[in-house]
């Protein structure tokens, strides 16, 4: 089984990547960074426990995207998701709307978690909504990294405004 990562190692790796990414995204945010890191670590553990390479890969990519953001603040309350649908390729999509309550243009990075009917995390993506004007809304579309079977729910995991 060369080249495959054990479940425990995958859990540790994903938790480290996601927690580091989320905690590096804050700038005096009154603990929002540690909350984001905790949520990301929890999501990583859930993903790794499923043992799916596709899901683990999605989590790693999400962690990398969040890690690249500097000076972000928690904006989860400013983000809303539409109802999940399916695109022509059979992947799950959901509209992401971010409201910029700041006085100048801001961008958003939104971690969207796709869950099955039992609440298990089955995929995760990060959507960037750039240059949302002050006191305005911007939209983007989250698209699953692979085809998801059954009833799928979408939730906001972490949302950062920067």
Query: What are the pLDDT digits (tens) for 75-119?
Result: 999 999 999 999 999 999 999 999 999 999 999 999 999 999 999
At 78 the pLDDT is: 97
Q: Closest by alpha carbon to 146, among 67, 47, 71?
A: 47
Question: Mean pLDDT throughout 141-153?
Answer: 95
pLDDT at residue 62 is higher than 60:
yes
Q: Copy the structure tokens of residue 139.
A: 């939209």
Q: Closest by alpha carbon to 33, among 62, 2, 72, 80?
A: 72
- More confident position, 109 or 54: 109
Residues in the chain: 162
At 71 the pLDDT is: 79
Supply the pTM of this predicted model: 0.65
Residue 122 in contact with residue 55, Cβ under 8 Å?
yes
Q: Which of the four pLDDT bands, split at 50, 70 and 90, describes residue 28?
A: very low
- More confident position, 3 or 63: 63
Instruction: Report the SS3 class of residue 26.
Output: coil
pLDDT at residue 74 is higher than 70:
yes
Rounded-to-integer distance, Cα 22 and Cα 72, Å: 9
Rounded-to-integer distance, Cα 142 and Cα 63, Å: 15
């Amino acid at each position: 089984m060369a080249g495959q990562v054990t479940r425990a190692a995958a859990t540790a790796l994903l938790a480290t990547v996601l927690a580091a990414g989320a905690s590096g995204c804050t700038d005096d945010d009154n603990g929002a960074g540690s909350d984001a890191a905790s949520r990301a670590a929890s999501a990583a553990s859930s993903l790794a426990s499923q043992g799916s390479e596709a899901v683990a890969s999605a989590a790693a990519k999400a962690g990398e995207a969040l890690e690249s953001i500097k000076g972000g603040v928690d904006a989860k309350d400013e983000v809303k998701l539409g109802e999940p649908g399916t695109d022509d390729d059979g992947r799950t999509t959901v509209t992401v709307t971010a409201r910029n309550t700041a006085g100048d243009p801001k961008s958003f990075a939104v971690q969207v978690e796709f869950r099955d009917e039992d609440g298990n995390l089955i995929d995760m993506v990060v959507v960037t909504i750039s240059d949302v004007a002050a006191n305005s809304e911007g939209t983007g579309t989250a698209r699953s990294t692979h085809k998801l079977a059954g009833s799928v729910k979408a939730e906001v995991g972490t949302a950062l405004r920067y």
